[in-house]
Amino acid sequence: MFISQAFAQTAPAATGSTESSLMSLLPLVLMFVVLYFIMIRPQMKRQKEHKALIEALAKGDEIVTAGGMIGKVAKLGDSYLHVEIANGVEVQVQRTAVVQVLPKGTVK
């Protein structure tokens, strides 16, 4: 009297289940493609340009470090370089700390 009768139902037909699963993955794939072109690709390009800048450093180049110091390259090493920030004052910095190479004659 209090229990309702349960009727057996047949399973729905499985037509188009692979198509619906591919359509559910489409937004995820689309988001990854957009993320790649907006964030990952420009960052890789920037890293490549920075690496080329560091490898092209030469004695006498005028540079800006990541800390904001401006000076001339006095000595070059494999991973470090000496930067002359004033007459007779040299500091040792890592090559990766170089952010920008200035045009000649900027530092006096």
- Counting Cα atoms < 13 Å in the Cβ hemisphere of 29 gives 6
Predicted pLDDT of residue 45 = 96
**The pTM of the whole model exceeds 0.75:** no
What residue type is 42 in one-letter code?
P
Mean of pLDDT over the chain: 89
Domain assignment of residue 30, yes or no: yes
Predicted pLDDT of residue 66 = 95
Give the count of domains, the chain. 2
Whether 29 and 66 map to the same domain: the answer is no
Predicted pLDDT of residue 23 = 86
Whether 63 and 99 map to the same domain: the answer is yes
- The pLDDT tens digits of the residues spanning 70-93 come to 999 999 999 999 999 999 999 999
Q: Where are the beta strands (DSSP E) in the chain?
A: 62-65, 70-76, 80-86, 89-94, 98-102
Is the per-residue pLDDT at 24 higher than 60? Answer: yes
Residues facing 80 on adjacent strands: 94
Whether 107 and 63 map to the same domain: the answer is yes
Residues of the chain above pLDDT 90, percent: 71
